[in-house]
Chains A and B, each alone.
Chain A
């Protein structure tokens, strides 16, 4: 097989593996808009990375993390409803990212690939970063799994039973920031949330435990990557959006299944 296609496939599968379980939490905890806001701020991360001349993945992860922690703090305020606040931050950070990138006149940045992903340009080095990130994220999710489920069901009850709620919540933020940083290459900042929530929503129809939902979501995300990539290869469509379309088609198919538990 041609190298770049193999890299693209492996990269997509690596990201899909972690997008499944994380996406479940995004769905369960109603964090879709939150994820969108973080993903949009990733563009600002790219701009900062280029400006400060540091690794783009690290810059994106750091900016997402700062954004996430800022959002947690802002959640406490009572001036505006959270979705309004998220809407402001989401679009403001996207706009700021676009403006800063346009000002970096001496560096040529391919905006389209940042917004919609550039799976077919994945290099061996990218692949390494993606797998290191994915393995860390999956290990963190697996270690904290029970506590994460516990605080998702009812945070105060979990706290009384001895779960450190603040620490687990922060860990989930870190994982989300990490996954956004590695998923950006695959589907781009505008479509990351789709890769998280669509397979999870599809998996819900055919799962009766949190664990089966997480595993099925991973498998569905991988299937979407493979079929999206195939579409892209054979009929020359952009890879990122094709993956999202595949995931959406699977979701539509799942609607014909009878909802489990």
Chain B
């Protein structure tokens, strides 16, 4: 499916309108304080993740190198800047920086899978209705009742422990909720009078879906996506916590488990778990702020409400 125009219209005015729309969108987004902060926080983490090799040497994750260099265990940030070390003499800063890559990547990729599957199936099911709806919804329910953790454990053991499998597991288990939500919204939008008006004007189904249904469910899809990112990040954390994460890569989830399992709290080694925890918190917050702002802009009726 492409979001290309179903209708022919003169090229130039259309592009002009789109350019103006984009410009006013950017301006509106920046004018909103939550959106601005969310975007800045997210950008900071994206830059951090991209610049990982520059700001934190990967050798900080290597226990053999650390031992050879006489790096102390459980060193506090003052002893071993910037964030101290863990029980294996690894740099917490390096774990934090490299872990942000995995967390962001898994969060975004799993969300793309979830939202793409969920919204396509939801829109098709809700709009076409009838037999298509019945078949798709039974299919969705089948996925909905699959218990998440057993599936994740089985898939992880069958397919091996890797980032891609985690993305696959999160995607496969979380799209049904999105599909049902989108379908419900499509069902209500479909009943709105403006859809009747479009039909009176001779609109095709494609036109109605792209011009009337999609614009009115996009806010919901967007809100759902911004919720799906933090949930995916948290799910990745959970799976890592249960030892189903990728053993090759550091992630925030893995840092938290290891801190938990090795008694960081008892040892008051706050520097071990706080960065990963705050990282998760900030990324989740950033997505929520951005999502809210996007929704506010996408729905002109919410304007002026803060």
* Mutual binders A and B: no
Binding site for B on A (CB under 8 A): none
